[in-house]
Amino acid sequence: MDSRLPWPEYFMKIAHIVAERSTCLRRKVGAVAVKDRRILATGYNGAPSGLAHCLDIGCLREKLKVPSGERHELCRALHAEQNVIVQAARHGINIEGSTIYCTTQPCLICTKMLINVGVREIYFQHSYPDELSREMIRESGIVFSEMPDGCAD
């Protein structure tokens, strides 16, 4: 009997480690793009390269009292899934057909981007208040599944 950690749990644990690099004051999110059991790219939520992070200057969303799940454009940070896509593109890595492991369910903006890059599966651990995101993923045919909380402990 194989006593090693199953692949999905392994990659979700890595996504949680990636999230530790986050500079967001509200929610630390990590994402990992995987294909053929190989990591293609990782991302966490934070300000664009070279710009001040919320960790250093405060959270614009908190200052403006923007509720979670709303007005994503009012934020200095890119989301973890956006950074996965950007990092893969920057380094010439094709993530079409990949699986995304994300600590939090993708928002609508990230969902649309993941659909367009041709992601095959999305696994997440914590839900997010964005029903339209879920509806679009279902419509796209992408495998979409919430993993239990204990799998990344």
User: What is the per-residue pLDDT across 96-137, written as a single tens digit (0 to 9) for each?
Assistant: 999 999 999 999 999 999 999 999 999 999 988 788 999 999
pLDDT for the residue 15: 98
DSSP letter for 106, please: -
The pTM of this model reads: 0.90
> In this structure, is residue 151 part of a structural domain?
no
Spatial distance between the Cα atoms of 82 and 45, rounded to a whole number of angstroms: 8
Which region, left, alpha or beta, applies to residue 49 given φ > 0 means left and ψ of -120 to 50 means alpha?
beta
Spatial distance between the Cα atoms of 63 and 54, rounded to a whole number of angstroms: 11
Number of domains in the chain: 1
HSE value, Cβ hemisphere, 13 Å, CA-based, for 89: 9
> In this structure, is residue 153 part of a structural domain?
no
Residues in binding site: 79, 107, 110
> In this structure, is residue 68 part of a structural domain?
yes
Which CATH number does the domain housing residue 126 bear? 3.40.140.10
> In this structure, is residue 152 part of a structural domain?
no
> In this structure, is residue 2 part of a structural domain?
no
List, for the chain, all residue ranges whose pLDDT scores fall below the cut of 50: none
DSSP letter for 47, please: P
Spatial distance between the Cα atoms of 153 and 142, rounded to a whole number of angstroms: 26
Burial class of residue 134, CB neighbours in 10 A (0-12, 13-18, 19+) = middle
Residues in binding site for Zn(2+): 79, 107, 110
> In this structure, is residue 110 part of a structural domain?
yes
* Domain span holding position 28: 7-146
Spatial distance between the Cα atoms of 53 and 70, rounded to a whole number of angstroms: 20
pLDDT for the residue 79: 94
pLDDT for the residue 149: 75
> In this structure, is residue 1 part of a structural domain?
no
Identified catalytic residue from 70, 81, 135, 139 = 81
CB atoms within 10 A of CB 121: 15
81 is catalytic: yes
